[in-house]
Amino acid sequence: MKKKYHWEVLAAIILMAYLIISGNQGLWELYHLHQQKNYLQIQNVKLKQDIHRDQEEYKHGEDLFMIEKQAREELDLAKPGEIIYRFIPSSKNNE
């Protein structure tokens, strides 16, 4: 009788340990959530630094001409009525 009781206790302990470690909100899940939280905190700091850097660049020297130049070159924007010409270099195979 005692031997059966020991197996039942051991099985209950193993089952509880399994549920604690790998259950829905188990230690394994909490570990992954902690890792994700750390990653997101690092990304948040980097993004705040980028925002601060961009704000400083805008304050110190970004005049309207430079903003317009960047919009035209990087975003292919144009004023109303303007026509944008793109020159594509020809390859030697086409000649």
Domain range annotation of the chain: 25-77
pTM for this prediction: 0.46
- What is the greatest pairwise CA distance in the chain? 95
DSSP label of 91: P
Contact 77, 69 (CB under 8 A): no
Structure tokens at 25: 């909100």
Q: How many CA atoms lie within 13 A of 47 on its CB side?
A: 6
Residue-wise pLDDT tens digits, 33-77: 999 999 999 999 999 999 998 887 777 666 777 778 888 888 888
Q: How many residues does the chain have?
A: 95
